[in-house]
Structure 1
């Protein structure tokens, strides 16, 4: 299998880069809300996204859902839906005199399925049972279960980039998460836009010594990159400030976005948003520093080789993105293992991307299983971390645990 396929597979492994390291190419659009395809008109305030959660003006949204607001406290909402009084547990936010609440909690409680249309940046509230497609699941995905001394850990393989066709997830995912005491992820993507993280990206991913990308890659690589950027309507020197590993990720992101897959719809961010709404702790198995530092520490030769592979195969990357999406939806272990094994063609790349990180994550999961507190952990990391001789499943089995595919 060609080396360049590792580039897109890495997007299913390293969440941090896709969400925070890729330079912004355009100003973000506002967020809209539709109820059964009817746009909600907000006259006081507008929907906002805060730390990965979409907040909406409460009263206007309830009116659009044919629900009436009865009362509110600092952390709950009482509303009347279809003649029934319901209480929603959610922290409310006051902005310029307008009360805001998480759209997912409000929509779920009112009997709507909540979806995200990344192309139009629209939250879609669809009446449950109102369309046949709502009864179908987006895919099988990857999930394993491990138990020890009263503790349960669910291991979920994420696609960090996805679209609405991945949802709704099959019931086993939602049921396991509903009972979880903790959500574990590689890094908390809801913090990606924080000033601290952005400073870290710039300090590690851009040149600080007065040089530019042109000074660090061959003239042929730089010229071919310029051709691609021009075709995308950008200046050929648009990425000059950034190191090869950031440029490579940017190109892969352009391709994944072109076929409709984005980090905003990724499986890990989906559960991070739900954890924030449920107010359960989000624990990080890694950190922004460790993920970005790993890429930054790649040798100069490896950085250019990987960038060049992406450039040379740019026109066919979208096919591989779609293949990976299908792999996730069908839960095809064989295909996942084949893709994971492509990392082994380069010792430096494989050791950093998989071997060392898998050991660290497996050790943390081992610790969760040994607390003896009767707790449940829902762990969501890139799917390619689980299988193979150096995968998390094998590492846990080597520690004596029984790992069951769900």
Structure 2
């Protein structure tokens, strides 16, 4: 169950690649900003939701920002997700009703391609045909991730969560697992199907794209996080998807951060969320700047 939860988090914000345009040679992460108000400091760390042991420690500026913090704010605290509750909710949202199956939504050719992918990964389509498109797409993401040298268990987010728990730092979620699950399962049936069909069509490239995304994160590409392919041309539901996946979530997270700044508690906060949220407009960084704050790009 935990493996499925970790894969879900990968799916939420790793669906976009980035193109490096920095001349500095780097291989230790990036996407760190800082904003202050009087005696209150907020560090904003863009992360990637996969990794391996070689990632750590991260750049000293990132590690120091974490060390300075009194409170850490992840997207969600996976360590506190109740597996029994989350599994029940996930199955309720993931499964078709009234005997419908994925075969009812896919063309014969696409269904055959999906069946072949599943067989290649040791799974028969009869085992999963009752799952809706969004969940099936997540399953393909899990298969692709297993073909890379990275794992969600070594994700940058998980690294900071585990350290914060060990160090006794206060952890405050910016979102909840339930909210993210409802978002993914709440896309229109048409968009879910479009996303799955696209994942099936491009499955052979998915692992390579995950490798590329990770390499770009390590190199600190900060100006583009909009996809390794031109999703706007191939993805008809792009605007609906981005409004929910990026815009609305960024507004909500930025509002929480602005409240912390306005409270001016004198504490230091370390926010760590997917790097896309720091650079894809309207980004958390730009939303905070729009409120009149100066946000310093540290690394």
Please give the alpha-carbon distance, in whole angstroms, between the structure 2 residues aligned to 1:321 and 1:342.
15
Please give the alpha-carbon distance, in whole angstroms, between the structure 1 residues aligned to 2:171 and 2:188.
33
1:236 corresponding residue in structure 2 = 125
Please give the alpha-carbon distance, in whole angstroms, between the structure 1 residues aligned to 2:82 and 2:280.
34
Describe the SS at the equivalent of 1:381: strand
Describe the SS at the equivalent of 2:57: coil
Contact kept in structure 2, 1:226 and 1:237, CA below 8 Å:
no
Contact kept in structure 1, 2:73 and 2:172, CA below 8 Å:
yes
- Among residues 42, 45, 55, which one is paired with 1:166 in the alignment? 55
- Among residues 339, 349, 354, which one is paired with 2:241 in the alignment? 349
Q: 1:173 to 1:352 in 2, by over 3 A?
A: same
How far the C-alpha of 1:219 sits from its partner, in A, is 3.0
In the alignment, structure 1 residue 393 sits paired with structure 2 residue 285: yes
How far the C-alpha of 1:335 sits from its partner, in A, is 3.7
1:380 corresponding residue in structure 2 = 272
- Among residues 228, 234, 252, which one is paired with 1:360 in the alignment? 252
1:176 corresponding residue in structure 2 = 65
Which is higher, the Rg of structure 1 or of structure 2?
1
Q: 1:191 to 1:240 in 2, by over 3 A?
A: farther
Structure 1 segment 20-59 matched on structure 2, within 5 A: none
Contact kept in structure 1, 2:137 and 2:196, CA below 8 Å:
yes
Larger helix proportion of the pair: 2
Describe the SS at the equivalent of 1:386: helix
Please give the alpha-carbon distance, in whole angstroms, between the structure 1 residues aligned to 2:188 and 2:132.
12
Q: 1:138 to 1:318 in 2, by over 3 A?
A: same
Q: 1:138 to 1:166 in 2, by over 3 A?
A: farther
Larger strand proportion of the pair: 1
Q: 1:296 to 1:311 in 2, by over 3 A?
A: same
TM-score (ref. length: structure 2):
0.86
1:201-243 deviations in Å (ceiling 9; x for gaps):
1111122433222233333322211011111221132321311
Describe the SS at the equivalent of 1:144: strand
In the alignment, structure 1 residue 216 sits paired with structure 2 residue 207: no
In the alignment, structure 1 residue 276 sits paired with structure 2 residue 168: no
How far the C-alpha of 1:19 sits from its partner, in A, is 7.0
Describe the SS at the equivalent of 2:240: helix
Contact kept in structure 1, 2:53 and 2:154, CA below 8 Å:
yes
Segments of structure 1 that go 5 or more residues without pairing to the other structure are 1-13, 22-136
Q: 1:16 to 1:149 in 2, by over 3 A?
A: farther
Please give the alpha-carbon distance, in whole angstroms, between the structure 1 residues aligned to 2:177 and 2:139.
17
Q: Which has the higher contact order (CA 8 A, sep 6+)?
A: 2
Structure 1 segment 1-400 matched on structure 2, within 5 A: 17-18=8-9, 139-192=28-81, 194-336=83-225, 342=231, 346-400=238-292
Segments of structure 2 that go 5 or more residues without pairing to the other structure are 13-25
Please give the alpha-carbon distance, in whole angstroms, between the structure 1 residues aligned to 2:249 and 2:223.
22
1:369-397 deviations in Å (ceiling 9; x for gaps):
11221011111111101114311111111
Please give the alpha-carbon distance, in whole angstroms, between the structure 1 residues aligned to 2:272 and 2:80.
16
Contact kept in structure 1, 2:224 and 2:280, CA below 8 Å:
no
How far the C-alpha of 1:196 sits from its partner, in A, is 1.2
Q: 1:222 to 1:384 in 2, by over 3 A?
A: same
Moved more, 209-218 or 277-286: 209-218
